[in-house]
Amino acid sequence: MNRLLTILIAMATMLALPARAQFTVEDQTKTRTAGNVNHQTQIQNANINELASFSDARDRLERQRIRLERNYLEITLKLQGTMTSYNEAWADTKGGDNAISVLGSFNLVHTYKKDRFSNNTQVSAKFGYNRLRVDTEDGDRKGIWFKNVDEFWLQVQPKLAVNNKWSYTMMFKFKSQFTNSYLSRTQQTDDDVITGFLAPGNMDFSIGMDFASPNPKFPIKISLFPLSGNGVVANNSLVERYYRNKEAKSWFGVDIDKNFLFTGGSSVKLEFKRSWGKDSWFTYDTNIFCYYGWITNVSNLSKIRDYDDYMAELDSWKQNGSPEGLEPTAVPRHEMLHPTVDWRNSFRIKASKYFETEVTVNMLYDKAQNSAIMLKSYISLGLTYTFKNK
């Protein structure tokens, strides 16, 4: 009996061992397989994330490279001025007067270029004051601040290149000033405002061809605009009051009862800018813009003749004593437009990276404002800072 029990236990043990071994092997295999799959999935996900991050970074760098290649930006800030000072003993003995002059300017040039298309945007602004002592009505001498420079302009000129010299082009330009200008240093009341913001404001629209010299030693640019339009804005109540007090019939070429005048004609623009010497210590920059409203003259030729005849009859009527009942019949004012010329010259001498001397000469001929040639020039010393993106 004991022998039979021993044999049964031995047989049961032998049958149980394969089953246990089979279960153990199956469980370890499943665990290892699942672990490998999870580990491989994590590696694949990490690789995908790394590739995506690398691709995004590469795309950002490529976009940045393209932006830098297509865009050129230059910003120049200047602060210039002069000051003279004398104490009372010096002024009483040698003469002299205290004076301060301050001029700030801002210039921006942005050029976008892609294949044959390019667009040039320029912004310029200048504002300056000076202070001198003047004799007042009560007999005292008083230092008075007076604005002597005030202007800003914006120019946008897209181009489509034909070859390395010629391009089809359009141009828009707007210019005016920031604040009111007064008749003189001692006449700065509301009745003495002679110009101001949008009085005048000038707009130019032009279509034509542009020539750019490929020679770096003679970098001249000539824009020919056979079709041009010029708009003059006159919209300032104080300036209008000044002209009405003078009994003027027009202000800046616009009828005194109106605020805008648009004319058509042709224009030419010439630009030249070049630097010489080590570190470009000397720079000459010139810009000439000429406009003639011949299209408006031709279209209004008969009206211009009628107005000239009326003015001649009116003068004759006044010379004859202005007899009652014989005054000539008035006609709307139409006058012949004359060419306008705006020529700007700048000579800059760079003493160091941040110090510069500038001589500026500006000649303007606009018979609608003044029949004589207007000339402005000044010499300034001061600080300058230029930023370029490349």
- 251-295 tens-digit pLDDT: 999 999 999 999 999 999 999 999 999 889 999 999 999 999 999
Nearest to 55 by CA among 45, 47, 66: 47
Q: Are strands 201-212 and 250-251 parallel, antiparallel or unpaired?
A: unpaired
Domain ranges in the chain are 71-293+337-388
pLDDT tops 70 at residue 84: yes
Q: What are phi and psi of 259, to 5 degrees?
A: -125, 0
In angstroms and rounded to an integer, the radius of gyration of the C-alpha atoms of the chain is 40
pLDDT tops 80 at residue 31: no
pLDDT tops 60 at residue 25: no
- As given in the structure block, the two tokens for residue 207 are 């279509």
CB 269 within 8 A of CB 286: no
pTM listed for this prediction: 0.80
CA pair distance 142, 150, nearest whole angstrom: 24
CA pair distance 378, 130, nearest whole angstrom: 12
**What percent of the chain has a predicted confidence (pLDDT) above 90?**
66
For the stretch 293-343, pLDDT in tens is: 999 999 999 999 999 999 999 999 999 888 888 889 888 888 899 999 999
Buried b (16+ CB within 10 A) or exposed e, 277-287: eeeeeebebbb
Confidence (pLDDT) at 36 = 55
- As given in the structure block, the two tokens for residue 152 are 């800003």
In terms of C-beta distances under 8 Å and separation of at least 24 residues, what long-range contacts does 300-306 make, across chains too?
Answer: 300/334, 303/331, 303/332, 303/334, 304/334, 304/335, 304/336, 306/331, 306/334
Least confident of 62-66, 112-116, 202-206, 256-260: 62-66
Confidence (pLDDT) at 30 = 46
Confidence (pLDDT) at 24 = 44
Least confident of 75-89, 211-225, 355-369: 75-89
